[in-house]
A and B are shown apart, each in its own frame.
Chain A
């Protein structure tokens, strides 16, 4: 390594480069902030001001009407409840399954790996579709249960591959040393590998959690009782109902009293969905901070 850097006659402290990087990110931030601020602004504005200026960044004629409409229905609360339950359960189960599966598959000496890997990869591409999945859940007696929203999707080939890939980059010597000292495989996994794998575990946790949080389709397929509808399905239903409402009243808010057009509800839905994630994200984020691996290998 010394050779490469020897070319530097002057000791550069990187301030300029870093500053340019900073500017680039600032530009990206601004570009990206625009739709975000727009969504937030519209969700707090009246439909009239939205019609006038749909690309607003600051709310005009500030009103909580849209949010009131969203939260007025009882099913929004059961929606949150269901989604929180399945997200927590599904993420935990999913992470555990992914970790142990990926761990085994990350051992290059594992016999059968060459067969199992393609088989798992295969599941990423081929699927039977809506109707067989529906019947499967029925056969398993899971129809109209929250379990039906938890199990499908908790283990995916993509996550397994990502995690396995990460495990493979860990120093094998560490694990061998532990084994020589008499540690069993589970001990190696839990005491050594996982603490070293915080970044990937948190990413997979994030992916799983967000996947559950955003999912509505399984709700359509597997759930009958309205009280068990996931949040996203409830939101979609509210929006569709508003649309039908608009058709029958000709889009007039006044006659409909407190009704809000579907398009406004779309905006509010995004915020309603995103806020909990924003609250949880920082806890996950700290696991892939720079320097999390400082001296970890030691």
Chain B
């Protein structure tokens, strides 16, 4: 059966044909003010309106990736507690996550709007259209008149700026907080030992030269001792546009949109002609690529390189290091992994750029919603101590126990892990900005836990927000500009891979300027200058 045209057109007009996870936990971040594993007892209870049990529960209909059959017990428990506490009846549309964007488009075109849409990115063009067409309401009045202590406490200030999507001062999205951090690397400790390489013992950062040398050694000095030239330092895999991107940006002081002393008030190094730092960054990545696995650019399964022992380093969240070690041990039982926080700049500072100020999309309330305050209450409640405890630990007296002093302890590690793995629905809606615990296996012994926590703290401290808070100017929807931007990114890919020289970047950038880049920079400056006003 050859519905060729339909198939092609649909393939062309829709994202997500591949099983590329949408955002997913792509911005899994964990920031931590060093905390013990107990939940705060400062008594910020959330607003609860269950004073009149005789009142009918309010229906709240939410559009999010959800499958009833796959929901874990702990998630169901949390949701039922939520419904009780707020006297609401949660109606969740069952949307396949493999077709989320398509379903979102259809729902938007259909007119059958739920109360809340969950967007995975605050830059989603659908979201912008929805706002422009009056489908999404602004929530400022509710924020002002209502009392949402947890929501305020556990959301980044900068996030509130980012959700003023239309740059008109109005807030259109309830931010979905995630923890801001800059991920470092998981590195094969056994390889380092075999080669006699020492990383500074006090912590886990290296200089640029050291890193490059490690990569070289991994590639050339046979770190796995099998006599074959089959190892590489790292692998470069493409982003969703198919392009490679630079790593170790922070080591060259490339932190995206920041204040500038040049012609514009704000500038990002990758867009500034002749920016020395950026050119050095490109050069560095070019050198690194020589020690990178050549298949990265076309690979669809990037983690298998590390698992198979073909590379010695990969970008990784600190909390996943022990997981990866276990995985590699399935292939090579002698493997040992540790965490390398990153590459420091010339001043010895570890830093990295964050484009999104601690948010991962958010909740958009539609005009159909009769009780926007309830939605905000819901988010607020999910961030309350009680709810957060459930989110972290599961079901009381089943997966965990609460001691007299308030600390929580996992009692059924296997059950806990199986629940944790399936995810708790509530955390799809809301997470606390400072809580790395969300990502850590809380059933781990104390020593392991502190090590990981320590790593995460470093990653959090290194995070530097870009000054535009993820906002993008209007010209980014212009086709000619999109093309120019794609060309620029392709050039970077070719430079990294050594197919183009670093010197050629300048002419690429000039072409970019002429095709709308200049307008982009001007518009961006306007946006940044307008923030906070």
Contact = CB atoms under 8 A, between A and B. Distances in A.
A29 to B, nearest CB: 26
Contacts of B319: 250
A52 interface: yes
Contact of B102 (A158, A159, A220, A255): A220
Contacts of A212: 1
Given A221-B106, A241-B70, A243-B24, A129 B10 contact: yes
A226 B68 contact: yes
Nearest to A235: B98
A250 B13 contact: no
B336 to A, nearest CB: 15
B26 interface: yes
Contacts of B7: 217
Interface in B409-456: 414, 417-418, 421, 423, 441
A246 interface: yes
A249 B320 contact: yes
A255 B1 contact: no
A263 B301 contact: yes
Contact of A254 (B94, B323, B423): B323
A233 B14 contact: no
A54 interface: yes
A74 interface: yes
Contact of B25 (A134, A233, A236, A247): A247
B326 A252 contact: yes
A165 B201 CA distance: 78
Contacts of A262: 19
B330 A244 contact: no
A46 B304 CA distance: 12
Nearest to B322: A252
Contacts of B28: 247-248
A243 to B, nearest CB: 5
Nearest to B302: A251
Interface string A20-49: 000000000000000000000000001111
Interface in B100-148: 102-103, 105-106, 109-110
Interface in B1-54: 1-7, 9-10, 13-14, 19, 21, 24-26, 28
Instruction: For chain B, give the interface size range.
Output: 35 or more
Interface in A255-288: 255-257, 259, 261-263, 266
A126 interface: yes
A167 interface: no
Contacts of B326: 252-255
B20 to A, nearest CB: 8
A193 interface: no
Contacts of B308: 51-52
A252 B322 CA distance: 8
A247 B24 contact: yes
Main secondary structure of the interface of B (DSSP, over half): helix
B487 interface: no
B195 interface: no
A47 B330 contact: yes
Contacts of A247: 21, 24-26, 28
Contacts of A54: 304
A262 B301 CA distance: 9
Contacts of B323: 249-252, 254-255
A210 interface: yes
B97 A244 contact: yes
B97 A252 contact: no
Contact of A248 (B1, B10, B423): B423
Interface in A109-148: 124-127, 129-131, 134, 138
B303 interface: yes
Scoring B96, B303, B321, B441 by chain A CB atoms within 10 A of each residue's CB, the highest score goes to: B96
Interface residues of A, number: 62
B307 A240 contact: no
Interface string B473-495: 00000000000000000000000
B417 A255 contact: yes
Interface in B324-370: 324, 326-327, 330-331
Nearest to A130: B10
A59 interface: no
Contacts of B25: 244, 247-248
A240 B13 contact: no
Given A127-B9, A248-B28, A252-B323, A50 B304 contact: yes
A217 to B, nearest CB: 6
Contacts of A81: none
B461 interface: no
Given A51-B307, A220-B102, A159 B1 contact: yes
A156 interface: yes
A127 B6 contact: yes
B265 interface: no
A73 interface: yes
B407 interface: no
Nearest to A51: B308
Nearest to A206: B1
Contact of A236 (B98, B324, B441): B98
A46 B7 CA distance: 34
Interface in A161-211: 207-208, 210-211
A156 B96 CA distance: 28
Given A46-B330, A52-B308, A251-B320, A243 B19 contact: yes
B98 to A, nearest CB: 4
B98 A263 contact: no
A217 B6 CA distance: 10
A253 B327 contact: yes
A241 B320 contact: no
Contact of B1 (A51, A211, A251): A211
A220 B105 CA distance: 11
A229 B105 CA distance: 19
A269 to B, nearest CB: 10
A48 B330 contact: yes
Contacts of A49: 331
B338 to A, nearest CB: 14
A226 B330 contact: no
B70 A208 contact: no
B194 interface: no
Contact of A153 (B3, B110, B418): B3
Given A247-B25, A256-B417, A262-B19, 4 more contacts: A236-B99, A237-B96, A248-B25, A250-B321
Query: Which 8 A-B residue pairings sit nearest by Cβ, starting from the closest?
Result: A250-B320, A252-B323, A211-B1, A48-B330, A51-B308, A240-B98, A250-B323, A51-B307
6 contacts: A73-B70, A127-B9, A134-B106, A226-B94, A233-B96, A247-B26
